[in-house]
């Protein structure tokens, strides 16, 4: 959420940012906020004047009553009553203005970083760097669910009967691999100085409103019927919510946290062949990074976060690249975002396995996460990034470590989490 002072002082900068986001339909909202803000200021002044007048008249009534001028006192009381009615009307107007202003402010996109490439959609995203050499083996790589079935590691049909499409059973060594990757990710991040957390998996609506836009919520979140609770789509939501309405001593910053959670997403819309199986699903698990820091430190943390994901995937012998999201592909709360994509030998292209985001002070403003600094209070900056999210990540792992005989090699870094296994082999 933007600071309304920015709209007052430089509305054209806000409008230009909206144009860069290709959301021209929101341009009139800037003028509407400014008009409402003027009305709100006027209403507040009138309210303050009426309250001051009421205090003066109350003293006058007391003075008149003390000298026995009851009739004159009654006339003044009538003025107080009229003022009270006007005051109630102004209070109602004030609340309506404030409510509408907040509604609009929640829909205006955050000011993007100057380094963000301008483009309408993900086709304008820009590749930044590659890590590791992409390899296409001289043998055929099966589709990922066929590969897992060949290793007795997945049961989609039973999951459909139990829960519907978008769910799965993982079994045997594939299930163990899934857990091993998450355990390794946890320890990987702890060794890099992050504090490990397990958050609540449900959050209240006020937290949902604070961490994401309404459009994202509608497309992602499952609501618990009859309760003010939502299943989290990522642990970032719960982890940032932890700081709601708090004032953090500056010396405690930064908070560098890594959290595990299951995640639940509606995943609305039609998806292509490559997004079936366990690529785009309603339930998965994830290891996440979350940082709460000073504004001047957020750019440095942004680079540190995405590099952690790159390093993690490289220890598992998976080639990756980074892709910077263009302005039109950025969610409204984001200042800057960089996707990490893994190499798919079967598809002969990269696909997304993680996303690093700097949200500036947008979430902090919505959730009132303030920092008590040397020169007064200010809003913190928040960032998040995926360490790893199996089972999607299993696609990249299995394809890049598959051997011609159908076995899957286990990289050295993961063997301790797999009971010393060096490979997953087909069951006889």
* 225-273 tens-digit pLDDT: 999 999 999 999 999 999 999 999 999 999 999 999 999 999 765 455 5
Q: Please name every residue paired with 344 in a beta bridge, in sequence order, or none if there are none.
A: 349
Q: Please name every residue paired with 161 in a beta bridge, in sequence order, or none if there are none.
A: none
Over residues 190-212, the pLDDT tens digits come to 999 999 999 999 999 999 999 98
Which tokens go with 14? 């806000």
Q: Which residue has the higher pLDDT, 280 or 415?
A: 415
Q: How far is CA 351 from CA 64, 215, 220, 339, 392, in A?
A: 82, 24, 20, 9, 10
Nearest 5°: the CA angle 205, 207, 210 is 110
Q: Which residue has the higher pLDDT, 279 or 67?
A: 279
Please state the rounded mean pLDDT for residues 270-285. 74
Please state the rounded mean pLDDT for residues 368-380. 96
Question: Confidence band (pLDDT; 50, 70, 90) for 305?
Answer: very high
Q: How many percent of the chain have pLDDT more than 90?
A: 80
Q: Which residues of 43-80 are buried (b: 16+ CB within 10 A; e: fewer)?
A: beebbeebeeeeeeeeebbeebeeeeeeeebeebbeeb
* Helix pair 27-66, 70-105: axis angle to 10 deg: 160
pLDDT value at position 138? 94
Q: What is the mean pLDDT of the chain?
A: 92
Over residues 89-101, the pLDDT tens digits come to 888 899 999 999 9
User: Domain 122-424: which topology?
Assistant: BirA Bifunctional Protein; domain 2 (3.30.930)
Cα–Cα distance, 94 to 103 (Å, whole number): 14
* Helix pair 392-401, 172-191: axis angle to 10 deg: 100
Over residues 25-80, the pLDDT tens digits come to 999 999 999 999 999 999 998 888 877 777 776 776 677 677 677 777 667 677 76
Question: What is the CATH architecture of 4-105?
Answer: Orthogonal Bundle (1.10)
β-strands 246-249, 369-373 pairing = parallel
Please state the rounded mean pLDDT for residues 162-185. 96
pLDDT value at position 84? 78
Q: How far is CA 283 from CA 44, 231, 279, in A?
A: 48, 11, 11
**Beta strands, E only, 301-362:** 320-324, 336-344, 349-358
Please state the rounded mean pLDDT for residues 336-348. 97
β-strands 336-344, 349-358 pairing = antiparallel
Cα–Cα distance, 271 to 255 (Å, whole number): 37
pLDDT value at position 427? 72
267 CB burial (10 A radius; 0-12, 13-18, 19+): middle
Question: Confidence band (pLDDT; 50, 70, 90) for 300?
Answer: very high
| Close Cβ partners of 278 (under 8 Å, ≥ 6 residues apart) | 144, 145, 148, 154, 168, 284, 391, 392, 394, 395
Please state the rounded mean pLDDT for residues 126-133. 97
The closest alpha carbon to 326, from 22, 16, 5, belongs to 22
Cα–Cα distance, 68 to 371 (Å, whole number): 57
Answer yes or no: are the C-beta atoms of 142 and 153 closer than 8 Å.
Answer: no
Alpha helices by DSSP H, 106-143? none
288 CB burial (10 A radius; 0-12, 13-18, 19+): buried
Going across the sheet that includes 381-388, the strands are 126-131, 320-324, 336-344, 349-358, 381-388, 283-293, 255-264, 195-197
Question: Confidence band (pLDDT; 50, 70, 90) for 274?
Answer: low
pLDDT value at position 86? 80
pLDDT value at position 317? 93
Cα–Cα distance, 321 to 307 (Å, whole number): 11
User: pTM score, two decimals?
Assistant: 0.89
Cα–Cα distance, 181 to 160 (Å, whole number): 25
Cα–Cα distance, 93 to 96 (Å, whole number): 5
pLDDT value at position 88? 84
pLDDT value at position 6? 95
| Residue 248, SS3 per DSSP | strand
Please state the rounded mean pLDDT for residues 140-154. 94
Answer yes or no: are the C-beta atoms of 258 and 197 closer than 8 Å.
Answer: yes
Q: Where are the domains of the chain?
A: 4-105, 122-424
**Beta strands, E only, 120-225:** 126-131, 154-155, 169-170, 195-197, 202-203, 222-223
Question: Confidence band (pLDDT; 50, 70, 90) for 105?
Answer: very high
pLDDT value at position 268? 65
Which tokens go with 105? 């402010």
Count CA within 13 A, CB hemisphere, residue 159.
15
Going across the sheet that includes 369-373, the strands are 246-249, 369-373, 376-379
pLDDT value at position 220? 84
């Amino acid at each position: 959420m933007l600071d309304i002072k920015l709209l007052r002082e430089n509305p054209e900068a806000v409008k230009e940012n909206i144009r860069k986001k290709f959301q021209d339909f929101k341009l009139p909202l800037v003028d509407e906020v400014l008009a409402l803000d003027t009305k709100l200021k006027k209403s507040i002044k009138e309210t303050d004047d009426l309250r001051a007048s009421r205090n003066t008249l109350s003293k006058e009534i007391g003075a008149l009553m003390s000298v026995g001028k009851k009739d004159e006192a009654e006339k003044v009381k009538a003025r107080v009553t009229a003022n009270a009615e006007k005051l109630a009307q102004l209070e109602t107007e004030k609340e309506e203005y404030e409510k509408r202003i907040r509604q609009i402010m929640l829909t205006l996109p955050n000011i993007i970083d100057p380094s963000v490439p301008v483009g309408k959609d993900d086709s304008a995203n820009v590749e930044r760097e590659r890590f590791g050499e992409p390899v296409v083996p001289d043998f055929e790589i099966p589709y990922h669910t066929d590969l897992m079935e060949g290793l007795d590691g997945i049961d989609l049909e039973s999951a459909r009967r139990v829960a519907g499409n978008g769910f799965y059973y993982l079994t045997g060594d594939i299930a163990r691999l899934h857990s091993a990757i998450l355990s390794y990710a946890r320890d990987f991040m702890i060794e890099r100085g992050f504090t490990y957390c397990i958050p609540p998996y449900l959050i209240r609506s006020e937290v949902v409103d604070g961490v994401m836009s309404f459009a994202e919520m509608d497309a992602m979140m499952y609501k618990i019927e009859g309760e003010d609770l939502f299943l989290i789509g990522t642990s970032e939501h719960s982890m940032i919510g932890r700081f709601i309405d708090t004032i953090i001593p500056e010396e405690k910053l930064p908070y560098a946290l890594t959290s595990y959670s299951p995640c639940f997403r509606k995943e609305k819309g039609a998806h292509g062949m490559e997004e079936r199986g366990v690529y785009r699903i309603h339930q998965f698990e994830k290891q996440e990074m979350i940082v709460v820091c000073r504004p001047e430190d957020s750019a440095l943390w942004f680079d540190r976060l995405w590099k952690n994901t790159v390093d993690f995937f490289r220890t598992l012998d998976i080639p990756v690249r980074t892709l910077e999201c263009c302005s039109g592909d950025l969610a409204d709360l984001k200042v800057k975002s960089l996707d990490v994509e893994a190499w798919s030998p079967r598809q002969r292209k990269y696909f997304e396995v993680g996303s690093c985001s700097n949200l500036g002070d947008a979430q902090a403003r919505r959730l009132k996460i303030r920092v008590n600094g040397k020169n007064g209070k200010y809003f913190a900056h928040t960032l998040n990034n995926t360490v790893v999210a199996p089972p999607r990540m299993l696609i990249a792992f299995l394809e890049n470590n598959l051997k011609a005989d159908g076995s899957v090699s286990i990289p050295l870094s993961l063997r301790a989490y797999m009971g010393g296994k060096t490979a997953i082999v087909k069951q006889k």
